[in-house]
Amino acid sequence: MGNLLAEKKSEPSFGELTQIAIEAALLAGSILRHGFGTHFQIKSKEGHHNLVTEYDHKAERAIIDFIQKNAPDSQFLAEESGVTGNKSSLVWIIDPLDGTVNFAHQIPLFAVSIGVEKAGKMIAGVVFQPITEELFVAEKNVGSFFNGEKIGVSKVSSLKKSILATGFPYNLAENPHHCIDHFIDILRAGIPIRRLGAAAIDFAYTAAGRFEGFFEVELSPWDMAAGKLILEEAGGMITEWNGAPFDIHSKKPILATNGLIHPEAVTLLSRSS
């Protein structure tokens, strides 16, 4: 596969760390693409339908090895291996395969997600879909890009005219934060909802204006580190369901929108259940 950014005449000028994240994501994507649809080992983690495959591990190892060679003074927070590397102000937050259940069931909706945090602030994010070859990249104060072209959020200002995305927690049967009730509320309001099975893609699609918003009860940092920056650099807004500022390490309910529908969405999601 060629360099997806180099194929575009309007290739943005990214910094070194962003370029490293891009190359690492493309490398992992190649591994996942070659593994997709083949026979591989699948194991279950804690929770219902919480799977991990040998390709989660292969992709994660490839990402970390590549980054260590190109940015040796790095620390890592990755889904499968946790915190590793040197103690550093430069932290790479990695989900090597977001959408493992889709991957395991031969559903071609999954992504590599790599966020770059420096001194506690996100400075770069990459989300790459190997099957569709969709590459979303953001750099702080530079903007968000899809396959080299700058993107921005939807201009839809009415929640009634919106399309939203969501995901469900592995403990859905416990109805945490009344997520089932909120889901029903939105459906009763006549608002269509999509459930793709990969939060990184939900963030990226909202950044590109394909969705007006995305909401979920709880995500881990690696699920959203890259996507959060991609959405914010595209002009979007991210808060807790009640409108409070959001921290990727908080594991609080998250609302990510184009900003225009945010007040209406907050009102709907923050109601008592």
CB-based contacts of 69, cutoff 8 Å, min separation 6:
none
Phi, psi of 119 (to 5 degrees): 50, 40
In this prediction, residue 39 carries a pLDDT of 80
Local confidence band at 46 (pLDDT 50, 70, 90 cut-offs): low
How many C-beta atoms surround the C-beta of residue 61 within 10 A?
16
* Residues counted in the chain: 273
Q: What is the pLDDT of residue 3?
A: 55
Q: Is the pLDDT of residue 273 over 70?
A: no
Radius of gyration of the chain (CA): 18
* Domain ranges within the chain, ordered by starting residue: 16-150, 159-269
- In the predicted model, is pLDDT for residue 42 greater than 90? no
Residue 261 has which token pair?
């529908």
For the cut 60, the answer to whether the pLDDT of residue 255 exceeds it is yes
User: Residue 216: pLDDT band by 50, 70, 90 thresholds?
Assistant: very high
Give the pLDDT band of residue 195 (cuts 50, 70, 90). Answer: very high
Strand partners for 43: 52
Nearest Cα residue to 63 out of 50, 81, 51, 45: 81
Residue type, 117: E
Q: For 159-269, which CATH class?
A: alpha beta
Please tell me the distance from the alpha carbon of residue 235 to that of residue 267, in angstroms, as a whole number.
21
| Cα 245-246-248 angle, rounded to 5 deg | 160
Residue 6: the pLDDT is 47
Across the range 221-239, mean pLDDT stands at: 97
The structure tokens listed for 57 are: 């591990």
The average confidence (pLDDT) of the chain is 90
Task: Measure Cα distances from 133 to 129, 207, 218, 220, 251 in Å.
Answer: 5, 17, 27, 25, 30
* Among 9-23, 94-108, 219-233, the least confident range: 9-23
Q: How is domain 16-150 classified at the CATH fold level?
A: Fructose-1,6-Bisphosphatase; Chain A, domain 1 (3.30.540)
